[in-house]
């Protein structure tokens, strides 16, 4: 068994006060709006990140209700029941609707990469390419998924940084 490294955070238990603050934050700002909840000065969390809030919410919310909450795109209010007879209304953060890329956009993406390289924001802003309705991250993700060989040829890696770190640590051992 390996010893925890210095870079790993030690796990801290959630107290009732932090869990209550999370629930209040969800009622105030909406489920899924973790950044707004963590930045709310009226709510107190002990060195928690937005990902910590998401993970905690996932563990305290019953699985069936959690899955329902995150799979229903057009529901604005959701009622959570935390093992009580009282239901808590929670407003859900609205997500962007997904729009698949079409062949014309894929061709414009290829032209944009020829013109700007991996400057995804420049590709999105170029009026000649007609991709202004797309975000830079969406354009990058489409290029990485549709053209993985070209993505790697530009010196970009398909592996996540976590996978890289793990493999480099194994090589050192």
CATH for 70: 1.10.246
Residue 80 lies in a domain: yes
Residues 73-111: pLDDT tens digits? 445 555 555 444 455 555 555 566 778 999 999 999 999
Residues 143-170: pLDDT tens digits? 999 999 999 998 888 775 544 455 555 5
Residues 6+ away with beta carbon under 8 Å from 39 = none
Residue 165 lies in a domain: no
Q: How many domains does the chain have?
A: 2
Q: Tell whether 62 and 127 lie within a shared domain.
A: no
Residue 63 lies in a domain: yes
The domain containing residue 43 runs over which residues?
A: 16-91
0.75 cut: is pTM over it?
no
Residue 96 lies in a domain: no
Residues 6+ away with beta carbon under 8 Å from 141 = none
Instruction: Copy the structure tokens of residue 59.
Output: 């563990």
């Amino acid at each position: 068994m390996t010893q925890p490294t210095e870079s790993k955070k030690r796990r801290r238990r959630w107290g009732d006060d932090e869990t209550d603050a999370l629930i209040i934050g969800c009622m105030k700002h909406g489920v899924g709006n973790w950044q707004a909840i963590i930045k709310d000065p009226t709510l107190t969390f002990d060195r928690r990140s937005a990902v910590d809030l998401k993970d905690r919410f996932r563990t305290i919310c019953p699985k069936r209700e959690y899955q329902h909450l995150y799979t229903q795109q057009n529901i604005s209010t959701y009622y959570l029941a935390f093992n009580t007879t009282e239901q808590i209304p929670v407003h859900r953060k609205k997500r962007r609707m997904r729009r698949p890329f079409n062949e014309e956009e894929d061709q414009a993406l290829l032209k944009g990469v020829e013109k700007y390289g991996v400057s995804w924001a420049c590709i999105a802003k170029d009026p000649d390419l007609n991709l202004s309705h797309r975000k830079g991250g969406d354009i990058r993700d489409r290029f990485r998924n549709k053209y993985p060989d070209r993505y790697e040829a530009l010196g970009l890696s398909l592996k996540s940084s976590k996978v890289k770190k793990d493999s480099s640590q194994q090589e050192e051992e």
